[in-house]
Chains A and B, each alone.
Chain A
Amino acid sequence: MTAPAPVAVRMTGISKSFGGIRALDNVDFEVLAGEVHALLGGNGAGKSTILKVLNGVHVPEEGNIVVGGQPLAAHTPEAARAAGIAMNFQEMSLIPTLTVAQNIFLTREARDARGMIDDADSIRRAQAIFDMLQVQVDPVALVGDLGAGQKQLTEIAKAISQKARVLILDEPSTALSVSDVERLFVFLRQLKAEGVAIIYVSHRMDEIARIADRATILRDGKHVITAPLADLPIDVMIEHIVGKKSKGLADVARGDATRGEVLLELSAVTGPHKPEEVSFALHRGEVLGLAGLLGSGRSALARVIAGIEPAIAGEIRIKGQKVAIRRPADAIAKGIALVPEARATQGIIPAHSVADNMVMAVVGRISPRGFVDRARVRAITDDMIQRLSVKTASRDHAVSTLSGGNQQKVVIGKWLATEPEILILDEPTAGIDIGSKAEIIRLVRDLARSGKGVIVISSELSELLTACDRILVMADGRAHQMLDRAELDDPSETNPEHALQAAERRLQVEIQKALSIKEAEHG
């Protein structure tokens, strides 16, 4: 007689909030022993949060967790590990100054007869894991010297070395080659046969379709559906992930772009790591979107254009003139401004005032005799506060006192003060509430209308679709397709929310298609 597979993890009624934002709302999640369970959802759906709750990093406000029939003793990483849960943390749990083997067995080192750490044993066991996975990673290399793919393999090796009953893999394949992913899958199937429960998070639906038995989809912190993969073809999955759009974004009128001259032109531009041979043209008055998953080369392309990681091949032209961009200062001098991804560390100095932040990029220009012209600081700041409708108590208040959306406006204002013609925004709405998101996107539209060329990078497709006139789909460092925004619209659909939803599904399909082209090339 074959009993039904026992339940490995049962999470019921889990709720968790961060600063008033409900990241998880009464979510149920159940994983069986001996299955690969895919966890799916868009950005901010709550995938990472629920995994961190399961792993003891976050303490839930409500709900309980049963692992292998036993309620979890405490919400700490140690308790989760004692219950047999292991997770890879997307490079978060590796220490750069230790070796690969030392990292894999950190706090679980083998001891010799005198109780001393036996590194030789760790090296042997690490090598055995890599041999089993048939991948080449040097156990004695320092983690800080490794590339992204090798780090990811080290993370995975660390997770599986714990011989866990529940193995959580959070985006394990973002930096892996196709053949490495294939070998990982072979190994996961072995673990599955041994009765290990595997929770697999990925944005790549082709991978999910190949490895997962069942899937749970989350959206906006809520449980949407749990079903066998056979009942979830890719278009149904996408439909559940996208769901109904909240108003906010759908209301933003795109209006018509009046495309002017070509401002920026790339031909076969290749960066030090990514991108590879990317070509496109950006016109005055348009917003160009870059779509693709993490690791597709979107941000790398932005860094190449902004001179942070200068191009190693190809040609960049600005208004028809060939230019060499070797340093960020070159790009700024050519009228290019990059609003970077990590607002808090790369965009603003939180403790400094709104005014000090706004003029940070133009201090040289407003200090004629070595002294900062305070009247001009006030003029620039007040102009930007008004133009971008920044909500701040005064120009002298610290930026840290502003909301996320208004902080982002300060960063945008800081770069607008350099009077750029080409503005690149990398994830401009990350961590911002929906109302401010719509406002930022309106601002982007206005900037284009005023004659600038704007490039927007975003993981939130509905945002790209709202903001952009054209969208470049990227995968694996390459540009795959330039989509006209209008092509994604269904002219018969009159309800703006449904129209945006339908367009997002189409864009999702194109992104997934671009990934499968890569598979075919390598396959």
Chain B
Amino acid sequence: MAKAATAPAGAFFANWRQNIIYIGFAVIFVVFALTLNDKGFLNPNNLLNIVRQTAMIAVMAVAMTFVLSAGEIDLSVGAVAGLATVTVAMAIAVAGPFGGILAGLATGLAVGVFNGWLTTRIGIPSFLTTLAMMGIAKGVAMWISDTAAVPILSPSYSWVFGGGSIGKVPVLMFWMAVIAGVGHVALRRSGFGRRVLATGGGETAARYSGIDTAAIKFRVLVLSSCAASLAGMLYAGRLQSGRFQLGEGDELSVIAAAVLGGTSLFGGKGTVVGTIVGALMIGLINNGLILMGLEFSQQLIARGGIIILAVALSQKKR
């Protein structure tokens, strides 16, 4: 029995470069637990706070795992989340919570279809399409809101989308778990997930195998924008307002979370579980550095250094 149990563990450490994210997460957690215990790191409230701060990044990063696995990229997620906070808040003001939800989803769908159309039909690389969309989404959000915060006066909406908690467990954690679970099964076990990985792993070969690679790319970009709008709805619910600044710069954390988790920037390789741990690790680092009392400037430097170290360790030896 003991032998059977050690064999997978042995393989886990033999492939330590592949699993560096899990090892790194554990190491950082233990280091913070030992050094920051007196500052309340292990306090359940603090740990749940990390989850609260990570949930939006995690939701977007799950979709980004699909986008990167298909060999594409989406730089517009942060700005689309910001735009969605504004459209949701404005729609709730006139049409109530359900109108708000519909407006949020419609925002993501519209941007995603536009991104996908430009990338797969017009042939503009997704890097450029979504770089341009980043500016457009932010501009629209500033324009329609007059750059002012739009308050949300619906407690039920705020409870469901990010503000509430069941007992001690924040609702955001359920959102994160559900998206992660669905994403994991879809990437690992569904025909769609397999086609995404095939498209990113070798587009010509995938096409020869009868896969409509343009349709796959279109769908992952729509998926990504919809996930971004969901993240925006969560931001809006948690902060009870819509503002164009919400989600600003998130695209970098989202991509970093996926890459830290072992998803390849060049396509064909990705895991949702790794992405979630990557997102949590970024949240963990942010939290620990704040508790250490570092200034914001020092936090930025330390965070960048840790991410570079983790990705460097995960590289295959040449």
* Chain A residues within 8 Å of B, Cβ to Cβ: 57, 77-78, 81, 89, 92-98, 102, 106-107, 109, 111, 115-117
Decide: A106 near B209, CB < 8 A? Known: A95-B198, A96-B202, A97-B202.
yes
Let me know if B208 and A95 touch, CB within 8 A: no
- The answer for the CA separation of A251 and B207 in the assembled complex, in Å, is 44
Let me know if B208 and A89 touch, CB within 8 A: yes
Let me know if B210 and A81 touch, CB within 8 A: yes
Neighbouring A residues of B195 by C-beta, 8 Å: 107
- The answer for the CA separation of A89 and B208 in the assembled complex, in Å, is 8
B187-206 contacts to A, CB under 8 A, are: 188-191, 193-195, 197-198, 200-202, 204-206
Neighbouring A residues of B209 by C-beta, 8 Å: 77, 93, 95, 106-107
Asked if B211 is at the interface of the complex by the 8 Å CB criterion, the answer is yes
Chain A: minimal CB distance from B23 (Å): 22
Choice from B188, B191, B200, B208 contacting A97 with Cβ under 8 Å: B200
Other contacts beyond A98-B201, A102-B194: 14, CB < 8 A = A77-B207, A92-B205, A93-B205, A94-B205, A95-B206, A97-B200, A97-B269, A98-B268, A106-B194, A106-B206, A107-B191, A107-B210, A109-B191, A117-B188
Let me know if A95 and B210 touch, CB within 8 A: no
Let me know if A57 and B194 touch, CB within 8 A: no
Closest to B185 in A: A116
- The answer for the CA separation of A97 and B196 in the assembled complex, in Å, is 12
- The answer for the CA separation of A39 and B191 in the assembled complex, in Å, is 36
B99-144 contacts to A, CB under 8 A, are: none
- The answer for the CA separation of A115 and B209 in the assembled complex, in Å, is 21
Neighbouring A residues of B189 by C-beta, 8 Å: 116-117
Neighbouring B residues of A116 by C-beta, 8 Å: 185, 189-190
Neighbouring B residues of A109 by C-beta, 8 Å: 191, 194
Let me know if A97 and B197 touch, CB within 8 A: yes
The number of residues on chain B lying at the interface, defined by a beta carbon within 8 Å of a beta carbon of chain A, is 25
Let me know if A96 and B208 touch, CB within 8 A: no
Neighbouring A residues of B206 by C-beta, 8 Å: 95, 106
Let me know if B211 and A107 touch, CB within 8 A: yes
Among B189, B197, B206, B267, find the residue whose CB has the most chain A CB atoms closer than 10 A: B189
Chain B: minimal CB distance from A79 (Å): 10
Let me know if B198 and A117 touch, CB within 8 A: no
Neighbouring A residues of B193 by C-beta, 8 Å: 117
Neighbouring A residues of B210 by C-beta, 8 Å: 77-78, 81, 107
Neighbouring B residues of A96 by C-beta, 8 Å: 201-202, 268
Choice from A78, A95, A102, A117 contacting B205 with Cβ under 8 Å: A95
Neighbouring A residues of B207 by C-beta, 8 Å: 77
Let me know if A106 and B185 touch, CB within 8 A: no
Choice from A92, A111, A115 contacting B208 with Cβ under 8 Å: A92
Neighbouring A residues of B200 by C-beta, 8 Å: 97
Let me know if A95 and B202 touch, CB within 8 A: yes
> Can you list 20 A-B contacts with CB-CB less than 8 angstroms, sorted by A residue number?
A77-B207, A77-B208, A78-B210, A81-B210, A89-B208, A93-B205, A93-B208, A95-B197, A96-B268, A97-B267, A97-B268, A97-B269, A107-B195, A107-B210, A107-B211, A109-B191, A109-B194, A111-B191, A117-B190, A117-B194
Neighbouring A residues of B188 by C-beta, 8 Å: 117
- The answer for the CA separation of A94 and B207 in the assembled complex, in Å, is 10
Choice from A77, A95, A111 contacting B201 with Cβ under 8 Å: A95
Neighbouring B residues of A98 by C-beta, 8 Å: 194, 197-198, 201, 268
Neighbouring B residues of A117 by C-beta, 8 Å: 188-191, 193-194
Chain A: minimal CB distance from B43 (Å): 40
Among B191, B197, B207, find the residue whose CB has the most chain A CB atoms closer than 10 A: B191
Neighbouring A residues of B185 by C-beta, 8 Å: 116
- The answer for the CA separation of A96 and B207 in the assembled complex, in Å, is 14
Chain A: minimal CB distance from B262 (Å): 12
Neighbouring B residues of A89 by C-beta, 8 Å: 205, 208
Closest to B200 in A: A97
Neighbouring B residues of A78 by C-beta, 8 Å: 210
- The answer for the CA separation of A95 and B198 in the assembled complex, in Å, is 6
Chain B: minimal CB distance from A167 (Å): 16
Chain B: minimal CB distance from A351 (Å): 16
Neighbouring B residues of A94 by C-beta, 8 Å: 202, 205
Let me know if B202 and A106 touch, CB within 8 A: no
- The answer for the CA separation of A78 and B215 in the assembled complex, in Å, is 15
Closest to A112 in B: B189
- The answer for the CA separation of A102 and B189 in the assembled complex, in Å, is 11
- The answer for the CA separation of A97 and B266 in the assembled complex, in Å, is 11
Chain A: minimal CB distance from B85 (Å): 35
- The answer for the CA separation of A57 and B205 in the assembled complex, in Å, is 12
Choice from A77, A92, A106, A111 contacting B198 with Cβ under 8 Å: A106
- The answer for the CA separation of A462 and B170 in the assembled complex, in Å, is 77
- The answer for the CA separation of A97 and B201 in the assembled complex, in Å, is 5
- The answer for the CA separation of A109 and B193 in the assembled complex, in Å, is 12
- The answer for the CA separation of A94 and B194 in the assembled complex, in Å, is 13
Cβ-closest 8 pairs across A and B: A97-B268, A97-B201, A116-B189, A95-B201, A95-B202, A93-B208, A93-B205, A106-B209
Closest to B192 in A: A117
- The answer for the CA separation of A94 and B205 in the assembled complex, in Å, is 6
Among B185, B190, B201, B206, find the residue whose CB has the most chain A CB atoms closer than 10 A: B201
Neighbouring A residues of B205 by C-beta, 8 Å: 89, 92-95
- The answer for the CA separation of A106 and B206 in the assembled complex, in Å, is 9
Decide: A95 near B190, CB < 8 A? Known: A106-B209, A116-B185.
no
Neighbouring B residues of A93 by C-beta, 8 Å: 205, 208-209
Closest to A52 in B: B208
Neighbouring A residues of B204 by C-beta, 8 Å: 92
Let me know if A57 and B208 touch, CB within 8 A: yes
- The answer for the CA separation of A259 and B245 in the assembled complex, in Å, is 77
Closest to B202 in A: A95
- The answer for the CA separation of A95 and B268 in the assembled complex, in Å, is 8
- The answer for the CA separation of A102 and B268 in the assembled complex, in Å, is 13
B2-49 contacts to A, CB under 8 A, are: none
Neighbouring B residues of A107 by C-beta, 8 Å: 191, 195, 209-211
B151-183 contacts to A, CB under 8 A, are: none
Chain B: minimal CB distance from A344 (Å): 15
Closest to A114 in B: B189
- The answer for the CA separation of A190 and B200 in the assembled complex, in Å, is 37
Chain B: minimal CB distance from A451 (Å): 41
Closest to A106 in B: B209
- The answer for the CA separation of A106 and B194 in the assembled complex, in Å, is 8
Neighbouring B residues of A106 by C-beta, 8 Å: 194, 198, 206, 209, 211
- The answer for the CA separation of A93 and B209 in the assembled complex, in Å, is 6
Neighbouring A residues of B211 by C-beta, 8 Å: 106-107
- The answer for the CA separation of A96 and B211 in the assembled complex, in Å, is 16
Neighbouring A residues of B269 by C-beta, 8 Å: 97
Neighbouring B residues of A81 by C-beta, 8 Å: 210
- The answer for the CA separation of A94 and B202 in the assembled complex, in Å, is 8
